[in-house]
Each structure stands twice: as structure tokens, then as C-alpha cells.
Structure 1
Amino acid sequence: MYISNKTVILIIGTILLICSDIMAIITPKDSIPSTRELAPVTIYSSRVPTKDNQLPVAVSVIGKDRLQVGQTKMSLFESLTAVPGVFAMNSENFAQDLRISIRGFGARAAFGIRGLKIVMDGIPESTPDGTAKLGNMDVGMVERVEVIKGATAGIYGNASGGVISLISEYIPEKPFAEFSTTLGAWGLARYQVKTGGTTGKFSYLANASRLQSTGYRDKSTLERNLINLKLGYQFTENAKLTFLAGYVDSPKAEDPGGLTLEEVGNNRRQARKANIDYNTTETFKQVRLAMVYDQNIGKNQQLNIRSFYVNRDFNTNQGFENSGQIAFKREFWGGGVAYQWTLRRYRLKTGVDLENQSDNRQRYDNKLGLRGTLRLDQLEDFRNVGLYILQEFTPTKHIRVAFNTRYDWVNLEVKDAFLSDGNQSATKNFKRFSPMLGISYNFNNRNTIYSNFTSNFETPSLNELTNNPTGQGGFNPDLAPQKSQNYELGYKAWLGTKIRVDLAVFKVKVQDEIVPYQLPNQVGRTFYRNAGLSTRNGLELGITYKMLPALTGYFNYTYSDFKYQSYQTLAGKYDGNALPGIPNHNVYSEIRYFPKTGFFAIAQFRSISSISANDANTVKVDGYALVNLRLGWQKQLKGILIEPFIGVNNINNAVYFANIQINATANRYYEPASGRFFFGGLKVRI
């Protein structure tokens, strides 16, 4: 079922008007008076903490209520789809993880996150080669998410699309214990226990959860266990040390693979036969340790020191024999020092980031799920040193100028330990200067216009480089970094006391766009090449409407006109074609009803237009519309909070695809999504 965007807008407008009239009648006079959705908030992911209405970039914030209340908390997909400019797919294939794109960057990822910087509590979750997997993080421990769209290479370096910064729950002063359970269709079971508190100068927060599911499609079983610990020690009023630890054990995440349209028509729940035969499964264990030290020096200076270490043990089976098993042990470590100095009309922050990634990688033949002959054995290193200077000027009370500069040294090296086919050892070095200039003008506290220009770069990841189409080890010698220039103009407004508007228009020019493709003799394995020139023109609109104290509506619209300008391969010339994997139109609407009585209701609506599945634009995937509903009750009983809830995703039972494999061979583009999905749960907090 597909609903046109004009119809979507009419439906949403009608729903908002009807709900406004109905709730005006039934809402108690003592409903919770909340304006938190409308008030400007301080953004920390910009590295220089600034109110969002003063930042010369597009930024969105998702709070704890929208992340956790009434949600399955299986992944961040439920929440990130509510951000204008963000498009997410692959919510049901946990072996490949979420594929998230901002302004088109990240859409090409064969698995996980690509082209975006993911940060958790100020510590990078993205490895220096620009990849990340959100399956490492527990949504049930996230306090808020900040999303900066575009304009970030001058702050964080190797990323083109933006920043997704997650902040773990704040540690409360009073000790608490919390237990929650969520059960749902297709074998969903999620259990969580959480506790925390503060004693003198010491504070703690501990969280453990287990997630399991059999999945909608065959061969989609998931088992994942997560443990997180956050400890704080307040030496003085101006000095604090925070210790973070995380452990993930994912013994099984199966991959059902892509299907042809004919196979989808026969049985959309089936897995690709080769994926069954070759037992396509991912397993991994990961340990993450970090320390953050914050020190205020007088009234105008701050010092931040951080260090981290990640160890990941990863194994996966792919749906083919030749080199179809991948195993690697990863060590990712680094840290940084940052110093901030503040004057009345000037702020300066300067620092250095050091990140080192070392992957000890092997490839074996996949003998129907059993480990076969060793085909590749190499040590891959990716080292990045970045120096940055972030400056903010306020020449008048209305004008704010941000000028960020960053210089990155990037070194990539592969040491070949499999010498029977020759020594494929190689090195690559990149140096990149990334400037960013932004200006905002505040007419008053309620109206701001801004513009920015930034130059971004994005190196190929180790996975992209080492997937060599020649069949040998080492690096793909023909794959180069992509570079982009970004131009943005925006408007942020608070209209009266009930409406907030965020509007951004942008243009991005990308040179040497990195795009995925597959080879006929290696179906399921993805390679990468550069695509000449492309342009991305877009518009992002976000509206928050506080209809009543207990009733809030959200409406987001994203327009994406992303096209190749110059791109030719042996298969054809693609000048003027749309970039695959991104819809032209993306609409999201949400209504949240939270009266003081404790009952709550949440309705969500999402609609996207059709998507091209390949560079030639010869395969179009139909758009779709989804409606989700959550109902629950929050009741306080003598110090115990009880929160039962139920929900249904895709209540209209739309038939659509959860993921599209871009430029797939053998017409296996399609990964079907589940239909109507019921779930429910209970949270108890003492």
C-alpha cells in the first residue's frame, strides 16, 4: 500500500485538527504543563556547548521519553526515523545492522553505519576508517540523542554526513532499581535490569539487557546480551572523572539475504537458499573501556582529557564459498586532549584526537557453513591524528560567527601474512585540511537565520579497500577518498509559545563518490568504486506543535534531489541519474498524548516515495506508508513506578521492504519487511 505525499500531508493535517478538538474536550485541566519540546537546548556534540538556536548548523535532539517510553528498544531505528534529513533502513536484519544516512551519506553502506560520526558520551563509537554499528549500544540506557546534519569534518574529521551523538542516562542522586520486559511477535523478548545512585562524591549506573528474536523471515534469529557500567567521582566542584565500561556478547545474528521479486511473490518470509546452505551468521564479542576527565580552570577555562580501548572478536559466514568466511580481531584505541577558553565575545577550543584501529583479518572458504581453506591473512592498520581549532565570535548580540579548522593525518597499512599468492602488503597516506565557516543572525530569542560552508572528506574504510575485485589481498588500488563541499541556509523559529519550526536547505557537491557494486560470479559480496561527480540538493522541515499541555504533534518532511553529474562504467553512463537508496520524499508525523492521569498514547506515521535500487535507475522500489500506535499507563504507587504498555507497528499491514541491496546482481535487491507487529511490556522502577 502506497499513499502519495499530498495525501499524506492532508491526512496528517486532518489528524492533528481532529485530535486537537477532541483532546481539548477530554484533557483534564491539571494535565502536565510541559514546554520542553519547544525550549532551546544546549548541544554538546558541537564540541563547544551552544544553545541549538545559536548554532549555524541543522541539529535535532531526541529526548529520553521518545527513546524509551512505549518503544521496543530493539534499536535506534524507532527514534532516528523521526529526525528530518535522516533516512534509515535495514531494521530487521541484525547481522547487517541499521543502515542510516544523513543527506544521502551512508546510504551506500553494505552493513552498519558509513560516512557518519557516531559518538557515545564523547567517546567515538565510529572507528577511524569511518564505520560503526549501532547494535553495540543499548537504547534502554540512552538519555538523549543529538544529530548534527552535515558540516562536521571541521569538528570530527573523517565523515561527510554528520554526527549522531548519544548520551547515556544521567546518574540520579537517589538510588533506584528498574526492571523491564518487552515481548512481541516473531519471538521478540527483551529483558533489562538497571540500577544507579549517588553516595557522596561517588556515583554509579549499571545496566544489563538481553535481546532475542526469531525474526519475521526464515534464518533471522538474533541473540544479544549487553552490560554497561558508568562510574563517576567528583574530586571537587570543578573536577570530575567518569569511567565507562561496556560488554556485548552476540552469539547469533542470522542473515536471510536478498531475494528476487519472483521469490518475494512466492514466499516473502523465505531466506535466500544460498544463505541457508552456507549458514550466513554473524557472531561477535566486544569490550569497551573509557575514561573522561573534566576540569574547570577558573571561570573561563576548561580542560577535557579522554582515553578509550575497544577489543572486538568478530566472525561471519557469507552466502558463497570462495573466501566466504571472515574473521578478525580488532583493537581500537586512542584518546584526546581539548582546551577551551572563553571571553565575553569570543570562545576558543583547540585539541588533538588520536585514533588507532588494527584489524587482524582472515578469509576462509565457506564449506556449507564449515571453515575451509585459508585464502587471506593480513594485518590492517588505520591511524588518524587530527588537530582542530574551533572558534566562535559574537561581534554583536545578534550575530554569531563560527570558524572551525581541522587538519588530519591518515595512514593506512596492510601487512600481508598470506604469501602463497605474492606479497600484497601496501600503504596509503592522506592529509586533509577541513575548514568550516558558519554565521547565525538572531533577530530575537525566537527567530534565527544561519548559513554555513564546509569542506568534508571521507576515506575508504578498511572493509571497502580490502574487498579487492582482483581477488587478491592488499588494497583495491583504484579506490580513492571522496571529497565534498557543503552549502546550507537555515531558519529556526519559535512562533508564539506553542510552535517551533526548523527549516534547512542545502547543496552538496561530491567528487569521487564511493558507490557499491557486485560481481556476477560473487553474488552477495560487495565491492566499491569511485563515481566521478554528484550533487545533492535538499530541504529539511521540522515542526513541533504544542496543541495542548498534554498533547504534542511533530511533523517532518525531507526532500532529496541527489543525482550523478558525471559517472560512467563499462555497464553504462549514468549522468543525470538519481543516487540509489534514497527516496525523494520522506514524511514523518507523530502525536504524543501524556495527561497527568498517567495514561499515554503515541501515534506515528511514516511515508516515503519510491527508491532506485541501482545506478542505472532501471529498478524502482515502490514507496510505502506505515502507521504505528503505542498505549500505556504510568502509575506511581508509594515510591514504585509501574508502566505497562502495548504497541503495534505497521497497524495498516503495509507490504514493503525493510532493506534494498544497492546494485545487487541476479536481481536480489529485496529484503522483505514484516507485516503488522504486536508487542507489549512492563517497566517497574523502585
Structure 2
Amino acid sequence: DGAFVRAALAPTDKLSILGALRGDQVVFRVTDRLITATNPDDGGSRTMRALSPSIGAAYSWTPRFSTYANVATAFETPTTTELANRPSGAGGMNPDLAPQHVVSTELGMRGAAGETGSLTLALFDARIRDALVPYELASSPGRQFYRNASRASHRGIEGSASSTIGAWGLARLAATLIDAHFSATDSVAGLFAGRRIPGVAPFRADLSLAAGLAGPVRAEIIVAAQSRTPVNDANSAWSPGFAVVDMNAGARSRDVGPVAVTAGIFVANVLDRRFDTSVVPNAARGRYFEPGPPRTVTFTLEISPRVGRD
């Protein structure tokens, strides 16, 4: 159940203010239909509720440049699977797993870059209470359990830029620099202040260069670069950093008799690098890494009727 209210105010033509308040109540209920003398009732219910206010303001300095500031709160409950997976192996819901609460602040700008480009830049800071942290047990590899970190923090900067290149090309760049760490020590859970949160890469950048936007043949090169990433709470193991190049090219639709033909090629991991597409935080027995595929080439050929054309 929940309710949401929002109010907007524009004191001037250049200034806009938006405020919101959201109320949530989530009820988890389990009914146990297998109760015996040796198998007690594991049923029960848990109710999680929160009020989440937010406020933001934006100011348009010129038609091509604006700044904004937001302060928001958020409430995230565990999923039913996260509640059901209990480290003790007992049935029913985990009574110790709490929802996480986030207070985030963001300052940013949006503007034009030259005649055909755009630029965005944002500073962000998120303070998390009872952060949900996944982990595995050596006795149950592959099965994720969750615990709460009393305090955690995500702060950093992110930006993006794009620009057309003449009438034929487009360049786009996006990058994020983030410091995600535990802010308090929970020695019983093995979480210590100052250590990085596993699974969060400190740096990520994506670049794409496209050509042939208006021509019969198109091509695009995509580069993804990422720093090394911690994979456990102790920060004793890391996934290596990487840079991976993909390529996409093709011919635009051409009429061949009564049909239209489109052909293309996609090459993933052009340089055939070894890298991890993702990691499993706190995986049991050191099984943290999920390797990406080697160089992969895909050809496409599409043939369709020339509907609506002479």
C-alpha cells in the first residue's frame, strides 16, 4: 500500500521547485501448510513502512544552460527471496533483515556545448542506513543471503557529453567516478568502516563514435573501460580493470526487386580481451568472477517486403 503527493512551484520564469512525499507500507506474509510435531509452524508476517520526502530546484540561466539541486529519501525493502533465504536454514522469513533507507543529495548542470553538442555534470552523495549486502556461505555456494550494513556511503561525480561531427558522425562519452564504502564498523558481520563496498567499480567510462549517419553505410565503435572492482567485504580480492572494444557496421536498407535488404555485422570484444562482465559479491569458495565472452562475430541479414513503395 502507499500514497504519493507532489507539488510544483515556479516563482519566476527561470526557477522551478518540485516537492514530493511518498508513503509506503509493504506487508510480507507467509502461511505454512505443512505443520507437524517435528516441523513447527514457520508462518508469520512482517510489515515495513516509511515516509520518503524529496525536494528539488532547477534554474535556467539561459535557454542553453541550467543547474539543479535535489535532496531525496528512498526506502527499499528486501525481496521475498532475500527474506526467505536464512543463513540458519530455518523456514519462514528472516526476522533480522531490515529495509534500507537512503538520503541522497545531487547537484548538477545541463548545457549545450557548441552548436551541436550537449554536456551534463553531477555531484552526488548518498547516505545509506541498513544497506542490503549480499553474501554466500561455503556450505551453500551459489545461494545468496543478505545482511544489513548499519551505515554506507556512495559519493562521486558523473558526467556525459555528446556532439555531432559534421553531418556524418556522432560522438558520445559518459563517465562515473564513485567512492562507495562502509561508513561504520559492524564487527559481528565482518564489515569495517572505510572498506569499499564489493561489486561497485570506482570508475567506469563508455565512449562511442558513430559514422555514416546520413549515408548508405554506417559504422560505430564502442569502448567500455572500467577500473578494478572489489569483490568481497574484506577488499582482499579484486576483479581486474579492463577496456573492451565493440564494433557495429552495416548497410542501410536497399531495394532489391520486390524486397528490401539490410545487412550488418557486430563484433564484440574486438581485441579479444579477458575481462569480467560482472562479479558475485562475497561469493563462497572464491567464485566471484563471471568472465565475459571472447571475440564474437555476428552477421545479420534482414529481408522484408517493400510494403507501401512502388
Class of the TM-score when normalised by the shorter of the 2 chains: over 0.9
What's the counterpart of residue 467 of structure 1? 85
Contact 2:168 2:215 survives alignment (8 Å): no
Measured after TM superposition, the shift of residue 389 of structure 1 is 1.5
Write the distance in 2 (CA, Å) between the matches of 1:571 and 1:430. 23
What's the counterpart of residue 32 of structure 2? 416
Write the distance in 1 (CA, Å) between the matches of 2:40 and 2:206. 53
Provide, for residues 624-668 of structure 1, a one-character-per-residue CA deviation record: whole Å limited to 9, x for no partner: 110011110013428854220001011011111223111012111
Change (3 A) 1:573 1:628: closer
More helix by share: 1
What's the counterpart of residue 118 of structure 2? 500
More strand by share: 2
What is the one-letter code of the residue matched to 1:388? F
Instruction: Note if 1:669 corresponds to 2:285.
Output: no
Aligned pair partner of 1:478 in 88, 96, 103 = 96
Write the distance in 2 (CA, Å) between the matches of 1:513 and 1:651. 38
Write the distance in 2 (CA, Å) between the matches of 1:510 and 1:644. 48
Write the distance in 2 (CA, Å) between the matches of 1:532 and 1:510. 8
Instruction: Note if 1:487 corresponds to 2:105.
Output: yes
What's the counterpart of residue 514 of structure 1? 132
Write the distance in 1 (CA, Å) between the matches of 2:295 and 2:276. 13
Write the distance in 2 (CA, Å) between the matches of 1:497 and 1:685. 38
Aligned pair partner of 1:626 in 244, 254, 267 = 244
Instruction: Note if 1:656 corresponds to 2:275.
Output: yes
Contact 1:447 1:492 survives alignment (8 Å): yes
Write the distance in 2 (CA, Å) between the matches of 1:503 and 1:684. 43
What is the one-letter code of the residue matched to 2:246? N
1:90-169 alignment runs, 5 A limit: none
Give the % identical residues.
27
Write the distance in 1 (CA, Å) between the matches of 2:118 and 2:304. 33
Contact 1:517 1:664 survives alignment (8 Å): yes
Instruction: Note if 1:387 corresponds to 2:3.
Output: yes
- Structure 1 unmatched runs, 5+: 1-384
What's the counterpart of residue 63 of structure 2? 445
Q: TM-score, normalised by structure 2?
A: 0.93
3-state SS, counterpart of residue 245 of structure 2: strand
Instruction: Note if 1:405 corresponds to 2:24.
Output: no
What's the counterpart of residue 160 of structure 2? 542
Write the distance in 2 (CA, Å) between the matches of 1:492 and 1:684. 42
Provide, for residues 19-55 of structure 1, a one-character-per-residue CA deviation record: whole Å limited to 9, x for no partner: xxxxxxxxxxxxxxxxxxxxxxxxxxxxxxxxxxxxx
3-state SS, counterpart of residue 145 of structure 2: strand
Tell me how many residue pairs correspond in the alignment. Answer: 302
Change (3 A) 1:641 1:538: farther
Write the distance in 2 (CA, Å) between the matches of 1:510 and 1:571. 17
Provide, for residues 60-93 of structure 1, a one-character-per-residue CA deviation record: whole Å limited to 9, x for no partner: xxxxxxxxxxxxxxxxxxxxxxxxxxxxxxxxxx
1:187-266 alignment runs, 5 A limit: none
What's the counterpart of residue 567 of structure 1? 185
What's the counterpart of residue 264 of structure 2? 645
Measured after TM superposition, the shift of residue 575 of structure 1 is 1.1
What is the one-letter code of the residue matched to 2:94? N
What's the counterpart of residue 238 of structure 1? none
Write the distance in 2 (CA, Å) between the matches of 1:610 and 1:460. 28
What's the counterpart of residue 219 of structure 2? 601
What is the one-letter code of the residue matched to 1:611? T
Contact 1:652 1:676 survives alignment (8 Å): yes
Contact 2:162 2:171 survives alignment (8 Å): yes
Change (3 A) 1:529 1:595: closer
Contact 1:634 1:641 survives alignment (8 Å): no
- Which stretch shows the higher mean deviation, 423-432 or 612-621? 423-432
Contact 1:545 1:554 survives alignment (8 Å): yes
Write the distance in 1 (CA, Å) between the matches of 2:108 and 2:304. 42
Write the distance in 1 (CA, Å) between the matches of 2:204 and 2:23. 35
Provide, for residues 223-282 of structure 1, a one-character-per-residue CA deviation record: whole Å limited to 9, x for no partner: xxxxxxxxxxxxxxxxxxxxxxxxxxxxxxxxxxxxxxxxxxxxxxxxxxxxxxxxxxxx
Measured after TM superposition, the shift of residue 470 of structure 1 is 1.8
Change (3 A) 1:478 1:653: same
3-state SS, counterpart of residue 651 of structure 1: coil
What is the one-letter code of the residue matched to 2:289? Y
Measured after TM superposition, the shift of residue 569 of structure 1 is 4.0
What is the one-letter code of the residue matched to 1:575? A
Write the distance in 1 (CA, Å) between the matches of 2:258 and 2:123. 48
Instruction: Note if 1:680 corresponds to 2:299.
Output: yes
Measured after TM superposition, the shift of residue 613 of structure 1 is 0.6
Write the distance in 2 (CA, Å) between the matches of 1:595 and 1:428. 55
3-state SS, counterpart of residue 568 of structure 1: coil
Contact 1:437 1:453 survives alignment (8 Å): yes
What is the one-letter code of the residue matched to 1:397? D
Instruction: Note if 1:611 corresponds to 2:237.
Output: no
Larger relative CO (CA 8 A, sep 6+): 1 or 2? 1
Write the distance in 2 (CA, Å) between the matches of 1:641 and 1:393. 52
Change (3 A) 1:646 1:531: same
Write the distance in 2 (CA, Å) between the matches of 1:503 and 1:641. 43
What is the one-letter code of the residue matched to 2:15? I
Instruction: Note if 1:456 corresponds to 2:74.
Output: yes
Q: TM-score, normalised by structure 1?
A: 0.43
What's the counterpart of residue 308 of structure 2? none
Provide, for residues 526-571 of structure 1, a one-character-per-residue CA deviation record: whole Å limited to 9, x for no partner: 1111011011111111000111122000011100101101132446
Write the distance in 2 (CA, Å) between the matches of 1:396 and 1:520. 61
Contact 2:149 2:191 survives alignment (8 Å): no
Write the distance in 2 (CA, Å) between the matches of 1:573 and 1:511. 14
3-state SS, counterpart of residue 662 of structure 1: coil
